[in-house]
């Protein structure tokens, strides 16, 4: 398949939109509009840099029943349109897809197309609109009206994978959004889903190709730029911010169990932390940060794991005003410590009360 740049594709999209609302003109050649076959052939010509304001034949130039892979006949042949055996045989990432109803030509035949996800059609009255229709109620290439299918063997591509891949005015966002919101869950073209995977890779996320799986990370990044609305949608500005992020290189899996003599101290430290790091160790003096000596690689890695799982792990305290972070084990131990301290306080107060010392009681008796 040929590959056209996003700039080329956007130029053809602009051309298609320029025909919206023009009247239907049977036999017209694009000055300014025309009929159904003129419109689909004009789009095929425009993206390839060929003259669009001329006729390339009619619907019957794309009537090659049962001939899979055939090209259009007559004046339409230079357009390079390829015949598919069925809807399923049309490549999902084909830039231009066309559907045809053949009835011998004229008003008994019809065609419309989908270019880069944009439906377009020139027609008589249908669903309260006639003439050239772009998006809106324009029939897609795979509308039930059609029984014959063609496509242009071309796809959209980018010279630099960091370039924003969507058409102007489109963005990555929820499936519930408008047509311009690309979620990766609605059968979008492969290049659009590849864009989601690319931004996920930049953010260090699994490349699922679903926008929703990256939303939280996108929102967090958007909050670092006051000029962006932190809603998780990705237009050109947010895309550029994401592209400036370097995807973290996954650390090699640690080797389980025991000393690994073939690794240096620095190599082993890199396995655990990415760089030499202090490890908290329990000693007679209490918990202290110490540097583990060379040769104590297992102990260092083990202490690092203990520190991470028992103390660090990043869970915020459940107590209002307490901004400490720790692991689930840490908070379980913390709750136990608080319980023990409370029990000791109660025992102390009980002993004092038993001795007649009531100075710790409130001045006003508590109500039952």
Residue 296: is its pLDDT beyond 70?
Answer: no
Question: Are 12 and 150 in the same domain?
Answer: yes
Question: Are 237 and 184 in the same domain?
Answer: yes
Question: Are 73 and 211 in the same domain?
Answer: no
Which comes out higher in pLDDT, residue 306 or 173?
Answer: 173
Question: Are 15 and 112 in the same domain?
Answer: yes
- Percent of the chain having pLDDT more than 90? 48
User: Would you state the pLDDT for residue 131?
Assistant: 95
User: Would you state the pLDDT for residue 237?
Assistant: 94
Length of the chain: 368
Phi, psi angles (nearest 5°) of residue 192: -70, -40
25-28 — which CB contacts under 8 Å span 24+ positions? 27/55
Asked if residue 353 has a cis previous peptide bond (ω within 30° of 0), the answer is: no
Q: What is the CATH number of the domain that holds 89?
A: 3.90.1720
User: Would you state the pLDDT for residue 256?
Assistant: 46
Q: What is the mean pLDDT of the chain?
A: 80
27-31, 102-106, 111-115 — most confident range: 111-115
User: Would you state the pLDDT for residue 338?
Assistant: 81
116-125, 158-167, 336-345 — most confident range: 116-125
Question: Are 51 and 130 in the same domain?
Answer: yes
The average pLDDT across 1-19 equals: 89
Range of the domain at 99: 2-157
The average pLDDT across 345-361 equals: 71
The average pLDDT across 311-337 equals: 69
**pLDDT classification of 25: cutoffs 50, 70, 90:** very high
Question: Are 75 and 215 in the same domain?
Answer: no
User: Would you state the pLDDT for residue 220?
Assistant: 95
Question: Are 288 and 221 in the same domain?
Answer: no
Which comes out higher in pLDDT, residue 247 or 59?
Answer: 59
Q: How many domains does the chain have?
A: 3
The average pLDDT across 195-201 equals: 94
The average pLDDT across 279-286 equals: 47
The average pLDDT across 314-335 equals: 70
Tokens of 33: 């509009």
- Residue 361 domain flag: no
User: For residue 232, which of 175, 272, 190 has the smallest C-alpha distance?
Assistant: 175
**Burial classification of residue 54, based on how many CB atoms lie within 10 Å of its CB (0-12 exposed, 13-18 middle, 19 or more buried):** middle
């Amino acid at each position: 398949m040929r590959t056209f740049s996003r700039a080329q594709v956007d130029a053809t999209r602009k051309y298609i939109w320029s025909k919206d609302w023009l009247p239907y003109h049977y036999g017209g050649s694009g000055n300014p509009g025309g009929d159904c076959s003129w419109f689909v052939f004009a789009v095929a010509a425009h993206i390839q840099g060929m003259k669009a304001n001329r006729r390339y034949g009619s619907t019957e130039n794309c009537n090659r029943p049962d001939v899979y892979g055939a090209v259009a006949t007559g004046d339409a042949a230079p357009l390079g349109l390829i015949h598919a055996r069925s809807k399923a045989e049309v490549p999902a990432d084909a830039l231009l897809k066309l559907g045809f109803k053949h009835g011998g030509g004229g008003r008994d035949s019809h065609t419309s197309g989908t270019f880069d996800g944009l439906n377009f059609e020139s027609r008589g009255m249908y669903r309260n609109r006639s003439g050239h229709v772009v998006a809106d109620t324009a029939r897609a290439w795979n509308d039930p009206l059609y029984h014959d299918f063609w496509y242009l063997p071309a796809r959209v591509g980018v010279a630099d994978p960091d370039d924003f891949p969507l058409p102007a005015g489109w963005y990555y966002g929820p499936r519930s959004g408008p047509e311009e919101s690309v979620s990766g869950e609605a059968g979008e073209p492969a290049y659009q889903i590849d864009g989601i995977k690319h931004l996920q890779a930049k953010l260090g996320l699994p490349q699922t190709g679903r926008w929703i799986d990256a939303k939280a990370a996108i929102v967090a990044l958007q909050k670092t730029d006051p000029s962006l609305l932190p809603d998780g949608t990705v237009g050109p500005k947010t895309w550029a911010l994401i592209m400036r992020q370097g995807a973290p290189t996954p650390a090699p899996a640690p080797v389980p169990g025991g000393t690994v003599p073939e690794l240096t101290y620095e190599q082993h430290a890199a396995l655990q932390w990415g760089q030499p790091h202090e490890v908290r160790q329990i000693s007679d003096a209490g918990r202290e940060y110490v540097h583990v000596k060379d040769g104590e690689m297992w102990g260092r890695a083990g202490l690092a794991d203990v520190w991470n799982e028992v103390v660090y792990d990043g869970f915020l305290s459940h107590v209002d005003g307490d901004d400490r972070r720790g692991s689930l084990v840490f908070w379980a131990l913390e709750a136990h410590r608080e319980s023990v301290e409370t029990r000791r306080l109660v025992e102390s107060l009980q002993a004092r009360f038993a001795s007649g010392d009531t100075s710790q009681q409130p001045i006003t008796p508590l109500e039952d």
